[in-house]
Amino acid sequence: MRALRGRPGARSWELTEVPVPEPGPGELLVRVRAAGLNRADLLALSGGYPVPHADADGTFTAGMELAGEVVAAGPGTVGTTGRGLGDRVFATAPAAFADYVVVDARRALPIPAGVGWTDAAALPVALETAHDALVTQAGFTGGSVLVLGGTTGVGQVAIRLAAALGASPVPATTTSPAKRDAIATAGATPVVGLEELRAVTGVDVVLDLVGGEYLAAALAGVRTGGTVVQIGRLAGPAATLDLNTLSFRRLRLIGTTFSVRSADERAAVAAALTPVLDLVADGRVRATVDRVVPVDDAGSAAAHLRSGTTVGKVVLDLGDPAPSQV
């Protein structure tokens, strides 16, 4: 089967032939139709993101989210509703940039009717990240949600999820005036640049995908007792915070990542999404797809994501089902 293989220090991946994996206990084998590209995939190439499944020489099959059809199942998966042979699923999984991928059955979710392969493949990482941060970590029950990094793949989904769960207002930031309309189209109030961000007040929850000076500027707009969830660090890993603001307003600052969570913890993140699948089915929660790129042109997809001009997700198209190899 085809797979995109990476190595430390490379700028992109090499499309090579590798054996089809076999599902073990509790696992599904999925024929991948489309796979979402994430900034963590680029970080993995530079050594900035852990790749536990890498070979001894550091090479690895890339990717972490996909949409496709279940073609085989290991022991312990029989009778799992929506995850049977032939079912369409979307999931987070390592080594997702390949024709066939082994997926922990607990992390595979049924694709709602009417949602295509491309849109489904753009959702798993963004939806897991946004829901875990907003609902599980922040305990959101209502109020205003500020999204820092509103034009990223996660940011676009976070805006729609927050609004669908009753958040109002939902301001969201971008550094580019040209992307103001993309924020508004997703359903948020555009906040362009630091000056506009410093004018935002009355926020109950901040979902921070940026870090740096944007995190520092956002604290002043959070109400007493509010919550800030630090998720991504597009502006860098360092920030200088006003501890008086943090303390006097009794703010909660929570850091979160998936890279160090156990298999059971990742399964729980996926299971928590079941109640919001209806929001995906009716279109209230969806990804923004910037562009779709054939898997054999993955280098251009990586370059486009690095350019900083994207709005939402870049998705790799793995084409029609390959001849059966299982």
Q: What pLDDT, in 10s, does the model give residues 56-81? A: 999 999 999 999 999 999 998 865 66
pLDDT at residue 19, rounded to an integer: 97
Q: Rounded CA gap, 67 and 119, in Å?
A: 9
Q: Taking the CB of residue 50, how many other CB atoms lie within 10 A of it? A: 12
| Residue 324 clears pLDDT 60, i.e. is over it | no
Q: How far apart are alpha carbons 285 and 302 in whole angstroms?
A: 25
Least confident among 42-46, 85-89, 270-274, 322-326:
322-326
Considering the chain, what percentage of its residues have pLDDT values greater than 70?
97
- Shared fold status for 2-123+287-317 and 127-255: yes
Residue 116: is its pLDDT beyond 60? yes
- Token pair 């995908």: residue: 209
Which CATH architecture fits 2-123+287-317? Alpha-Beta Complex (3.90)
Q: What is the pLDDT of residue 127?
A: 98
Average pLDDT over residues 117-121: 98
Rounded average pLDDT over 105-122: 97
Is the pLDDT at 325 greater than 70? The verdict is no
Which of 140, 129, 158, 153 shows the shortest CA–CA distance to 261?
Answer: 129
Examine the pLDDT at 186 and tell me if it is beyond 70. Answer: yes
φ, ψ (nearest 5 deg) of residue 320: -65, 160
Parse the chain into domains and list their residue ranges. 2-123+287-317, 127-255
Residue-wise DSSP of 80-107: -TT-STT-EEEEE-TT-SBSEEEEEGGG
Q: What CATH number labels 127-255?
A: 3.90.180.10
pLDDT at 48: 85
Which band of pLDDT confidence, cut at 50, 70 and 90, is reported for residue 197? Answer: very high
